[in-house]
Amino acid sequence: MTAALLTDTPCDVAADRAPHRAELPRVVGADLSVPVVDGSRVRYCDLDSAASAPALEAVAAHVAEVLPYHGSVHRGAGWTSRVCTALVEDARADVARFVRARADDVVVFTRNTTDALGLLARAVPGPVVTLDLEHHATLLAWRHTEHRVVRAGRTLAATLDALRTELTERPDAALVAVTGASNVTGELLPIPEIVRIAHAAGARVCVDAAQLAPHRRVDLAGWGADYVALSGHKLYAPYGIGALVGRRDWLDTAEPHLAGGGAVGSVAVDGDRTRTEWLPAPQRHEGGTPNVLGSAALGAACRELDPLIDEDVPAHERALLRRLRAGLATVPGLRVLSVFDDPAGSGDRTATVSFTLGELPAGLVAAALSAEHGIGVRDGRFCAHPLLERLTGGDAVRASLGLRSTASDVDRLVHALDRIARREPGWTYAIVDGRWAPTPDPRPLDGPGSGRPGAARGCGH
């Protein structure tokens, strides 16, 4: 029945043709099959790339190429040290180019976006303003500075007014930190407009691009924004790397984020104290042995995506999003969530959609999608508790599409949700260790690792 409904939707044909698909880079694991509870295996339908995306094949190949040369960075005269030092510095340049950094911006490698924002939090010289719709990474980074939260309104216009009012009435803010794209609804925030509002009040702007960078151009210089933070594992380079890119002055004078070897020019013991001469950024914040493979991977991902991120990636994802939204509209009781009643910015969004399904617990829906259909989605509150409180008063389900996604993935999700909504589950479920799970769960744990399924952590719930 769902299939029949889907073929009636006008966007189908265009999406099926996926005009840009052939040009998109392939990801590792695109053909992965997973067990389902009826004893069969199905191609894994990964609709959770907003949480973490697979590696591009080109990225994995580059890492394999680098591995034999793995060595220290900025520390050795040996050949591999020289190769690795060049790899890390080239990767810095690739990241800078990808986010359209200015010539005098600095790229600091971090573990991820959370770490990048933590670094900026050490550097910011005054109060920080955020919206309440943010991911916890942007909401919680500023524990050691004054932090003010502006409540987003029902419309984007009201939200920008509230931000303007806050910045005008208390003009001492040093920084506005804002997401480029919501990790819950995919709505894009109008960064150039936010930059104008913030700069008019004398505040700088940091864009949390964890969700934007894999899907749309980050244009630090074009927007006039001051900093951008991103995560490699969301950008098809899952090797424990992230970056903070932006204005040098605060970063050159801030307390070192990771103090230690590599971050100092000289150290002496003076009486019972150390006397240090810290290097400027980025070394100042990158103490310890750097993540060479991660940097190389992130640089490679940036090189691969740079020619595609303006048109091909958005075109692919927009076609799939149209198909997904049309399909979801046919599922009884399904409500798609939006932060704003008016379209945010251009009305464009990433292909990340959160929804509730009647009164069904989100965890149960996600468990059934995985157990019976081999579909991976996220359920919970997506590390955005204040926003989910406002939108649902509880949990939701999130499907997020990316380079790996196909029209058939979208159709599988819609078909599966339709069955679940019509109470046609093919299995029984119960709460086990605080999470909905199939009972019994006959799926063999045949992947790599200990063979024990990982327990979900609190953030999503």
- Closest CB 330 distance from ligand PLP, rounded Å: 28
Q: 27, 131, 203, 210: which one contacts ligand PLP (CB under 6 A)?
A: 210
Nearer to ligand PLP, 130 or 179 (CB): 179
Q: Which of 367, 376, 360, 379 is nearest to 422 (CA)?
A: 360
What number of other Cβ atoms are within 10 A of residue 296's Cβ?
Answer: 27
Nearer to ligand PLP, 179 or 405 (CB): 179
Q: Does 211 bind ligand PLP (CB under 6 A)?
A: yes
Torsion of CA 374, 36, 30, 382, to 10 degrees: 40
Cβ 361 vs Cβ 191: under 8 Å = no
Which is catalytic among the residues 45, 84, 302, 383?
A: 383
Nearer to ligand PLP, 80 or 392 (CB): 392
Q: Which of 355, 363, 389 is nearest to 139 (CA)?
A: 389
Nearer to ligand PLP, 185 or 231 (CB): 231
- Closest CB 393 distance from ligand PLP, rounded Å: 21
Distances (CA, A) of 179 to 113, 126, 189, 207: 11, 20, 7, 5
Nearer to ligand PLP, 159 or 179 (CB): 179
Size of the site for ligand PLP (CB under 6 A): 13
Q: Does 215 bind ligand PLP (CB under 6 A)?
A: no
Stretch that binds ligand PLP, among 190-198, 208-216, 217-225, 260-268 (CB under 6 A): 208-216
- Closest CB 309 distance from ligand PLP, rounded Å: 17
Both tokens assigned to 31: 């053909």
Compute the half-sphere exposure of residue 412: CA atoms within 13 Å on the CB side of its CA: 22
Nearer to ligand PLP, 107 or 416 (CB): 107
Which DSSP category does 395 fall into?
Answer: -
Both tokens assigned to 260: 């230690």
Nearer to ligand PLP, 321 or 331 (CB): 321
56-60: long-range contacts (C-beta < 8 A, 24 or more apart)?
Answer: 56/25, 56/26, 56/27, 56/28, 56/236, 56/237, 56/300, 56/301, 56/304, 56/403, 57/25, 57/26, 57/27, 57/28, 58/25, 58/300, 58/304, 59/236, 59/237, 59/297, 59/300, 59/301, 59/304, 60/28
Distances (CA, A) of 65 to 92, 300, 321, 337, 364: 18, 12, 35, 43, 43
Q: Which of 380, 235, 210 is nearest to 294 (CA)?
A: 235
Size of the chain in residues: 461
Q: Does 291 bind ligand PLP (CB under 6 A)?
A: no
- Closest CB 172 distance from ligand PLP, rounded Å: 26
- Closest CB 435 distance from ligand PLP, rounded Å: 19
Which residue has 């670094």 as its token pair? 119
The C-alpha atoms of residue 78 and residue 24 are separated, in whole angstroms, by 38
Nearer to ligand PLP, 85 or 113 (CB): 113
Cβ 59 vs Cβ 233: under 8 Å = no
The C-alpha atoms of residue 438 and residue 253 are separated, in whole angstroms, by 54
In sequence order, what DSSP letters do the residues of 27-40 get, joined into one string?
BTTTT-EEE-TTS-
Chain positions 176 to 195 lying near ligand PLP, rule: CB under 6 A, are 179, 183
Stretch that binds ligand PLP, among 106-114, 161-169, 329-337, 416-424 (CB under 6 A): 106-114
- Closest CB 208 distance from ligand PLP, rounded Å: 5
Stretch that binds ligand PLP, among 3-11, 93-101, 207-215, 219-227 (CB under 6 A): 207-215
Nearer to ligand PLP, 188 or 210 (CB): 210
- Closest CB 291 distance from ligand PLP, rounded Å: 14
- Closest CB 402 distance from ligand PLP, rounded Å: 13
Q: Does 400 bind ligand PLP (CB under 6 A)?
A: no
- Closest CB 79 distance from ligand PLP, rounded Å: 33
Q: Does 208 bind ligand PLP (CB under 6 A)?
A: yes
The DSSP H or E segment spanning 60 is helix 57-66
x/- string (CB under 6 A) for ligand PLP, residues 231-270? x-x-------------------------------------
x/- string (CB under 6 A) for ligand PLP, residues 111-150? -xxx--------------------x-xx------------
Q: Does 2 bind ligand PLP (CB under 6 A)?
A: no
What number of other Cβ atoms are within 10 A of residue 273's Cβ?
Answer: 8
Question: Known catalytic residue: 459?
Answer: no
Residues tagged active-site: 383
Site residues, ligand PLP (CB under 6 A): 112-114, 135, 137-138, 179, 183, 208, 210-211, 231, 233
